[in-house]
Structure 1
Amino acid sequence: MLAPSRILRGTPHQAGGGRDRFALVEKARRSIEEGSKSFTAASTLFDIDTRERVWLLYAWCRRCDDIADAQEMGGELGDQAGAESRLKSIRVLTQRAFDGLPTADIAFDAFGLVAQEGRLSAQMAEDVIEGFALDARDWRPRSEADLLRYCYHVAGAVGVMMAAVMGVDPDDDEVMDRACDLGIAFQLANIARDLLEDDAAGRCYLPMEWLVEEDIEPGQHTKPHHRAELADMAEKLVLLMDKYAKRARLGTVGLPFRSRWAILSAARIYTDIGYEVRRRGKAAWDHRVHTSSLGKLGHVTAAFFEALKNDPVGPDDEPPLDRGEILLAVRMAGPIAPPPMDPLPDEL
């Protein structure tokens, strides 16, 4: 008979990879404080259980983004060589997290914990990872529908996961659709603000059809002589953002007060970025748009009374696509195929 030390044992399956929950939450809290002051401000409004789960989810999103772009806490993009390999790592570690196996990365272990507590599905995670796959393939949108597909993957799908960790039934399509709307609105604001930064990194999320309509030659949209046209396209982004953000508010009615307050605060803070881009016009990219601490406080205060009233008004005109239509297009197009993936052993 073999001695006990020679008997192979599988790694036990435990949510969070067996790590202490407090350690995971503390790491996630530090991650969100360093990575996003706006989300930090909004997250403090949740009840403690929801707040911790939001932190855990954010830590995974932040870490995936950093791995995909070879950067640190959303900083300057690193060398983009090997993007497919990094994408493979994200998928492998995420699957291990779902399986309750240790990942040797605390952000993925944190995701394993919140995935169990928040009833997150592998498809929810894959929809987010598809956004990183689009960037890895240097994908560019041809049409407005393509732009919205990208916004769904990188932010709308995160909104869906956020709603789940807040306790929304994953089968409640109405609330999930509105959560997706808010994520799309956030991403549209980010794109409008970061047009020059994205161009410097070799990326462009403006639909090619828009560039053709503005008679802008490829790769020239951020040149000074096209600043008026760039402002026109930024306004298109902000108008879309406004429609999605207003429709998103309709989904907050049934949320607990503190969750409603937090979501409405985040909505006000992020959409203000888009509105400020529009207000500045051609000067929008002379200095990076941000919301001051005093401005955040004002939005949080206004959101408190909005949450108390709890009578949101939707957009005058509906956004062009809803989650169901975007998902149908995504499923018909099929996933961006990852390279063959050799699973890591249980004993990592």
Structure 2
Amino acid sequence: MARRSAAQTKPNPIGGQGEGLETGISVIVLGTPISPAMAYEYAFVHLKYTIPLAGVLTLILRPLLTRVDLYKTLFLIVVAFFATLPWDSYLIQRGIWTYPPDAIIGPRLFGIPAEELFFFIVQTYITTLLYILFNKPILHSQYLTNRQDSTPKARWIRTIGQLLLSVAILTGAILVGKGGRGTYLGLILIWAGPFILLTWSFSGHFMLKLPFACIAIPICAPTLYLWIVDELALGRGTWAIESGTKLGWCLWGDLEVEEAAFFLATNALIVFGLVGFDRGMAVVDTFPELVPGSLSPALLVKAVITNPAKYNMKRVRGIREAVSTLKRKSRSFYLASAVFPGRVRIDLVLLYSFCRVADDLVDDSRTETEALVWIQRLIGYLDRVYDTAGEKSPSEADVVNYIEKNFPTNAQSALEFLPTRLLPSGPLYELMEGFRMDLAFLHAEFPIKDEACIQTYAQRVASTVGELCLWLVFHHSAVRLPEHEESSLVQAAITMGHALQYVNIARDIQVDADMGRVYLPTDWLKEEGLTPQDLLSNPRQPKAEILRQKLLDLAFKKYEASRPVMNLLPNEIRGPLIVAVESYMEIGRVLREKSGVPSKTKKGRATVPRSRRLWVAWKTLSTS
């Protein structure tokens, strides 16, 4: 988008207002001696203020950008460029904006200087990257809504917004019709207002559901930055506004109210457009049956105008509950999921939510009988989803009915929306056997007798999940791998599952002891002169730390054996999966560095500071 300085033109004693006269090697412009280099004044503004900022944002975001992010950025730049071009040209031709010839390089398109055309692009690029940065952690599907799902307050706010925007457009038309000092402000309102009204009308409810900072910061931060740039660097006559078309009111210094409104309006246009894009993509990813097809402008338009009454809000609420579960129970995975493409991210979140909910049903049981009941109900659920051949049962109504009769309300969506049609049944049944192993602790028994037992346990409760994640990746990837490479990756996922579970056990020695559980192999304890009861009574003793480090050594050995195989993954998914692994392995690195006394703990568990997890994700994506 473009922007204009509020600089006042001053009488030039040599050549008249705004005109220059070359004398030797100097030029007089706006009453100020300027060297010929000042013909590059507007270009220098880009070199000093816009391009460096765009470069910094590119450096930060480059590893995080997906194919959809790049498509979105290009799409918004094209729309912004061609939406601004005729409006900008009109203002120049009407003489509302003028450019001293000594401040620009020279080439023009429809009267618009090349530097101004570049500003259409660079402002959109900067604001878009900032928006992507703040929205990257957000799974937009959870914010889809319709009239039945929205609150009366939200509907009232949307209606009030529509009325205010309509009034602003009407005010702009009146100001332009009257001409004179309100012309420039009126033109801003009648140009930006309809675009903002359109996006607000289609995506207002969605926008109101989004976290406030995800919209406010991408609008306000670049607006404030451009206000400062305008005041500090561009009030030198780089361009001028015809004095008879502006109100003459300044926000501060030389920054006139029209300029402030222009920057705010253009950034709002960009962000509202991005929100509309993300709403369209959320519909495409969440309800592929409503808008089938490959990504294109036509598909996005169709998704945006699809009647929200057709949304399956039960699925949306299921996604919301899954996200809430992961935020509470698996922060590392939730952070890592942010870099996965839309549809695979949704399915991975739903898978992890099922695993967490199923684990909690068993772990939170007060007796062995209650725990066995939950395991049998979970197996009954799987039996109804799959037949003996592992195919999905055609009777989904039967599955839903079984879930509603046998599981608490807060667990039902995790089962109902598990993407079983994309998953083999074997790992899910094996996960149930892992839950059974935990029941031995209710008898004061310790089933992890040796290293083979701990590997079996890790295989059942972690490798199964890793394998299921991989099948989702295979399904959603546009690249079909050879069968032998898929087999190698499945085996690597199993081995990596061992590594991740060993890290989990090493982290939770104290937490598990509080629950009466010891997952360290009994023969390892015996080598240190300990029994499981000794560890239960004092899980923070020095010998426990020795065993923790031994288990971490085994974990990293498994990690190093399987990590290179992950390079076989398709490009679009390799980085995100490695981030998921590295985010968890970083817990092991913290435990190694702090010798079991991490700098930050939560309920007895070692945690990795958020800044460090973000750094690990960025570094991993940069190198993979």
Structure 1 and Structure 2 fold alike (TM over 0.5): yes
Cα separation, 1, equivalents of 2:617 and 2:334: 12
Contact 1:70 1:79 in 2 (8 A): no
Which residue of structure 2 lines up, in the alignment, with residue 228 of structure 1? 542
Q: Could you say if the C-alpha distance between residues 44 and 222 of structure 1 is closer, same or farther in structure 2, counting changes exceeding 3 Å? A: same
Q: How does 1:1-348 map to 2 (within 5 A)?
A: 21-70=315-364, 82-98=370-386, 99=393, 100=396, 101-102=399-400, 103-104=403-404, 105-111=412-418, 114-116=419-421, 118=422, 120-138=423-441, 139-167=446-474, 172-221=486-535, 223-224=537-538, 227-281=541-595, 283=597, 287=601, 288-307=605-624
TM-score by length of 1: 0.74
Shift of 1:153: 0.6
Shift of 1:92: 1.3
Question: What amino acid sits opposite 1:136 in the alignment?
Answer: L
Query: Which moves more between the two structures, 100-109 or 288-297?
Result: 100-109
Shift of 1:61: 0.4
Cα offsets for 1:144-165 (capped at 9, x unmatched)? 0111110111101110011001
Question: What amino acid sits opposite 2:498 in the alignment?
Answer: I
Cα offsets for 1:50-95 (capped at 9, x unmatched)? 1011011112101111111127xxxxxx565522112111111233
Q: Could you say if the C-alpha distance between residues 225 and 173 of structure 1 is closer, same or farther in structure 2, counting changes exceeding 3 Å? A: closer
Identity of aligned residues (%): 24
Secondary structure, counterpart of 1:253 in structure 2: helix
Q: Could you say if the C-alpha distance between residues 223 and 22 of structure 1 is closer, same or farther in structure 2, counting changes exceeding 3 Å? A: closer
Structure with the largest fraction of strand: 2
Give the structure, 1 or 2, with the largest relative contact order (CA under 8 Å, sep 6 or more).
1
Cα separation, 2, equivalents of 1:252 and 1:286: 30
Cα offsets for 1:5-59 (capped at 9, x unmatched)? xxxxxxxxxxxxx985444334323332332211111111111111011011112
Query: Which moves more between the two structures, 139-148 or 153-162?
Result: 139-148
Cα separation, 1, equivalents of 2:531 and 2:455: 23
Cα separation, 2, equivalents of 1:149 and 1:184: 9
Which residue of structure 2 lines up, in the alignment, with residue 10 of structure 1? none
Contact 1:245 1:267 in 2 (8 A): no
Question: What amino acid sits opposite 2:458 in the alignment?
Answer: C
Cα separation, 1, equivalents of 2:596 and 2:537: 12
Cα separation, 2, equivalents of 1:225 and 1:137: 20
Unaligned runs of 5+ in 1: 1-17, 72-77, 308-348
Unaligned runs of 5+ in 2: 1-311, 387-392, 405-411, 476-480
Contact 1:56 1:110 in 2 (8 A): yes
Shift of 1:286: 9.2
Cα separation, 2, equivalents of 1:269 and 1:58: 15
Note the aligned Cα RMSD (angstroms).
2.5
Shift of 1:285: 10
Cα offsets for 1:151-208 (capped at 9, x unmatched)? 1111011100110011167983210011112222111111001101101101111111
Cα separation, 2, equivalents of 1:187 and 1:125: 17
Cα separation, 2, equivalents of 1:181 and 1:24: 31
Q: Could you say if the C-alpha distance between residues 36 and 44 of structure 1 is closer, same or farther in structure 2, counting changes exceeding 3 Å? A: same
TM-score by length of 2: 0.42
Structure with the largest fraction of helix: 2
Shift of 1:226: 7.2
Cα separation, 1, equivalents of 2:606 and 2:328: 18
When the two structures are aligned, how many residues end up with a matched partner? 280
Cα separation, 1, equivalents of 2:501 and 2:575: 20
Q: Could you say if the C-alpha distance between residues 213 and 286 of structure 1 is closer, same or farther in structure 2, counting changes exceeding 3 Å? A: farther
Q: Could you say if the C-alpha distance between residues 297 and 285 of structure 1 is closer, same or farther in structure 2, counting changes exceeding 3 Å? A: closer
Query: Which moves more between the two structures, 80-89 or 46-55?
Result: 80-89
Contact 1:67 1:90 in 2 (8 A): no
